[in-house]
Structure 1
Amino acid sequence: MTKFSRAVLGAALLAVSGFAAAASYPGIVDAKGNSLGGGSAFDTGVFLVAGETFSVTANPADLWDNSGTDPTYVSNADGHAFQMATLDGLTDAIGSLVGEIGNGPLFNVGTNLANVTAGSAGELKLFYFDSDADNNTGFVHVDVSAVPEPTNIALMALALGAFALTRRRKA
């Protein structure tokens, strides 16, 4: 393999390691169907390993409601700061978007959860934070992205190795 082809291979591997982080998974979380209180989880299809970095973004313009009729209870994925509750060990605003990895503890997602490190392995699931799904309406669009750390590290190591081979050894 020539120096030039090793350099090209190294550059290509570095580029691919950067693109591995760009995968995103869109979805729609429904206030009634995906409510913590009477619905089921929105399965994102994203399976994380402990130590992997992920992000979730919810469209802040999308609205959902936990009253059925009262506009006071309409919110985006950040929920109602004036209406807090403790459900399944998490204290958060009613109407907020929350997540769970595998069967781990719930955590707040809101409209933007950026570059968080997964503490455990499993599928990322999302919920509407509410104790009663019966009167919920609306939905939010979400985009989930994960950085596959082991893949990036391996590709980076291969790329650096290819670059190292292009260096001329001094006699």
Structure 2
Amino acid sequence: MTEPDDFPSEEQNVAVLIETLREDLADLNWTPAALMDRMRSLGDYRKPQTILRGINRALEGQTKPSGELLCLVRQAVRFKRRLLRSYGNTLWTQLGDGSHTTQVEDFRITLAPQTKGRWLVVVVHKDGYSPAYPRWQETLEAAKHMAFMTLDNAQNWQQEYAEEQAREAAAHL
């Protein structure tokens, strides 16, 4: 661009979109596989390899990142910020085996050290319900962030389950 009134070219716009996607994924500490997991958990019905291929092609500049993909990732960044505002000051207790644990509402969260410095996130409700374990996280801080997202998923599942039970009970009246 030579003049202030010049609009960026399509090529420049695509480069900005790719960089925005990369920055947002870095802010989330997510790999393409972690983004694919999130998309599947939110209802993306495509095969995992298809989703992953699309993400990687966008990150490599082979295709323009879709508006939906950019929106989803930006929304996840904002969601992470909200969760950190809500739970960021949570007190964690380090156990003898090196794991870290805390209680948030009716959920016990445990971050267990794994090989190569990675962390397993385990969230369990007092009644025994446990959402699917997310992928191992690369750092303790990333594991804490993922724990809060997993906690939110579990709380949403419980709410949806309670609503479904209420609908079924009402249908039998």
Band of TM-score, shorter chain = under 0.3
Q: When you count strand as a share of all residues, which structure comes out higher? A: 1
